[in-house]
Structure 1
Amino acid sequence: MAVEADDGARSVVRVVPPVHPRKLAKVPFVELAEGRLQGVVSSGSDIERVYVSAITARGHGLSCSTNNNRPCGGLRGSACKHLRALAAEAVLQYGPERVSRYLHVEVAEGQDLVDALRPVAGGGAAPAAAVFSRFLRHLAYLEVPDTTAPLPELHWFPAMEGAR
């Protein structure tokens, strides 16, 4: 991520647009961070429940639990629907090459990313609380009122290139 010098009062960070537009209702938060593809996936049955799902790079450990740390009932040795939705949105956000490279997985032509994984039993515990907390922090930035005054806590926040 390149930071360009401005007049000293602010920084401008180039934001890489998503490869394809995403609908945020099902998977509002997805990131490639801390050696994992991780994010928050909305429950299909309960509007107040979300799942924190993750796939570790290299070992392909799988984890999925609710925001209250209850394990996902669909995660039984293979990827649940939440992990599949997370992977699909990551491919839309970052592109298939970047996601497969990050996870260290070879995906054959026409093969689904999740089907190409070779998960290792017991290797998927992810810090669900930390991922969910980061998601909530991102949501809080959406509630910051519009202003032209400097916001010290957002000095690092990406701005549109050329916006001055």
Structure 2
Amino acid sequence: MSDWERSSTARVIPPARPRKLAKVPFVELADGRLQGVVSSGSDIGRVYVSSVAAGTFAFACSTNNNRPCGGARGSFCNHIIALINESVLQYGAERVVRYLKAEIPAGDADGPALVAAMRSTRPQADATKAAASVFSRFLRHLAYLEHGPVTAPLPEMHFFPPTRAVA
């Protein structure tokens, strides 16, 4: 067993490639879903909570006020497509494909290929239940960005690995 597996801290994995956070500020592979928050293209004050379930590819997209997305009717909307493409940048295509249990040839794994492989599915009713918890985690994530640089520990962040001071 390696040192990080025996420690009480989580290993931080850097993004596969840099990504722009303006369109998709929050992406995660959690709870058996690819899920995240996507900015609206038409209203700067609106965001969408989008998710795609692993294995079934059941999808959901709704505003932060829990109103359904008008574009997610029987097929992936632009918010879900943006979420999938950004997840490939964040985690790498192979990891996202493996997590979602998609069947894509190894050499063809990228965002558009993943979207094409999953696009023909239909949403399931239980896919929308994730929106509240995803948006809550996103808001918590934003709250950490408001903290100024301090050396005192933040009790709710005790699970993050300590960083070394750069001289």
Give the TM interval when normalised to the shorter protein: 0.7 to 0.9
Match of 2:133 in 1: 130
The percentage of counterpart residues that share the same residue type is: 61
Q: TM-score scaled to structure 2, two decimals? A: 0.85
Alignment coverage as a number of residue pairs = 157
Contact 1:13 1:159 in 2 (8 A): no
Which range moves more in the overlay, 139-148 or 115-124? 115-124
Q: Classify 1:57/1:107 alpha carbon distance in 2 versus 1 (closer, same or farther; 3 Å).
A: same
Gaps of 5+ in 1: 6-10
Indicate whether 1:152 and 2:155 are aligned: yes
Which range moves more in the overlay, 70-79 or 145-154? 145-154
| Residue identity opposite 1:85 in structure 2 | A
Q: Over aligned residues, Cα RMSD in angstroms?
A: 2.1
Distance 2:5 2:148 in 1: 25
Task: Give the 3-state SS of the residue equivalent to 1:157 in structure 2.
Answer: coil
Q: Per-residue deviation at 1:98? A: 0.5
Q: Classify 1:158/1:84 alpha carbon distance in 2 versus 1 (closer, same or farther; 3 Å).
A: farther
Match of 2:66 in 1: 69
Match of 1:81 in 2: 78
User: Residue by residue, what CA displacement relative to the aligned partner does 1:104-150 show, whole Å, maximum 9, x if unpaired?
Assistant: 10124275211101424425334211100000000000111211122
Match of 2:121 in 1: 119
Contact 1:15 1:159 in 2 (8 A): no
The correspondence of residues 27-106 of structure 1 with structure 2, limited to 5 A, is 27-106=24-103
Greater share of helix: 2
Distance 2:54 2:10 in 1: 27
| Residue identity opposite 2:70 in structure 1 | G
Gaps of 5+ in 2: none
